[in-house]
């Protein structure tokens, strides 16, 4: 199991997401979404890195992606963004029997729910919660059909800690999570993860294969 320690950067308190986006480029170490769990059926492997940090009340993530084609046809939150060029963050609070899944296409459109598994009851995040998740996509926010050609894109997101069930005044805890890259309906479908997934077919909704997150 991989382990990721989330640093606490007080200098990010009350800063804009653009400030945080620039901060990522000059601080912190990369994590790599590079586990090719199903190489026979889905051999394509784009280059995907990420960084994570928190302020007093927000969790920040930045994805750095290079892939040979990109697609972003969905532009309304809770659309099926996993079919586009997509990055994801699944998070289970300490001792919880549920997890949150946050899925973003390359223009920042977000699908987010609380659930216990792929086929169990799903509780979508509210419009208010989704509006509180700020996003800064390097490609802008306008949708487009798939474009071929090697492309680098980045996405910075801001998630209030309270949305993922964390108390900002008491964060001395461990949780579990996984980070993903996919593109179900792109020309080269792919399914990469940060922590290894041991299933026969692609399935990101497997919290038993999440890695450890330490705040």
Helix (H, G, I), strand (E, B) or coil at 2: coil
Range 17-45 average pLDDT: 98
CA distance 118 to 143: 27
User: Are residues 59 and 51 in contact, defined by beta-carbon separation less than 8 angstroms?
Assistant: no
51 pLDDT above the threshold of 80: yes
Torsion angles phi and psi, residue 31, rounded to 5 = -105, 160
| Residue 36: CB atoms within 10 Å | 15
Q: Indicate the average pLDDT of the chain.
A: 96
Torsion sign over Cα 24, 83, 134, 165: negative
Strand partners, 90: 101, 178
Q: Would you state the structure tokens that stand for residue 187, as one six-digit string?
A: 């020309």
172 pLDDT above the threshold of 70: no
pLDDT tens column, 122-154: 999 999 999 999 999 999 999 999 999 999 999
Q: Which residues contact 208 (CB under 8 A, 6 or more apart)?
A: none
Helix (H, G, I), strand (E, B) or coil at 166: coil
CATH number of this structure's domain 3-214, picked from the four choices 2.60.40.1190, 3.40.605.10, 3.90.190.20, 2.40.30.10: 2.60.40.1190
Nearest to 117 by CA among 80, 90, 156: 90
Count of residues making up the chain: 215
pLDDT tens column, 70-125: 999 999 999 999 999 999 999 999 889 999 999 999 999 999 999 998 888 799 99
CA distance 166 to 161: 5
CA distance 20 to 148: 30
């Amino acid at each position: 199991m991989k382990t990721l320690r989330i640093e606490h950067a007080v200098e990010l308190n009350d800063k804009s997401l653009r400030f945080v986006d620039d901060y990522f480029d000059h601080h912190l170490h990369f994590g790599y979404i590079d586990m090719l769990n199903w190489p026979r059926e889905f051999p394509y492997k784009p280059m995907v890195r990420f960084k994570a940090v928190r302020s007093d009340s927000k969790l920040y993530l930045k994805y750095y992606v290079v892939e040979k084609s990109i697609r972003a046809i969905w532009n309304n939150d809770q659309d099926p963004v996993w079919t586009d060029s997509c990055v994801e963050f699944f998070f289970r609070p300490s001792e919880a029997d549920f997890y949150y899944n946050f899925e973003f296409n390359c223009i920042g459109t977000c699908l987010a729910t609380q659930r216990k598994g792929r086929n169990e009851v799903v509780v979508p995040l509210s419009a208010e919660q989704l509006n509180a998740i700020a996003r800064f996509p390097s490609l802008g926010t306008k949708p487009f059909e798939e474009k071929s050609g090697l492309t680098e894109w980045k996405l910075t997101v801001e998630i209030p800690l309270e949305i993922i069930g964390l108390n900002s005044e008491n964060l001395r805890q461990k949780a579990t999570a996984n980070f993903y890259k996919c593109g179900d309906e792109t020309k080269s479908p792919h399914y990469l993860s940060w922590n290894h997934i041991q299933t026969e077919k692609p399935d990101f909704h497997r919290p038993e294969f999440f890695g450890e997150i330490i705040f």
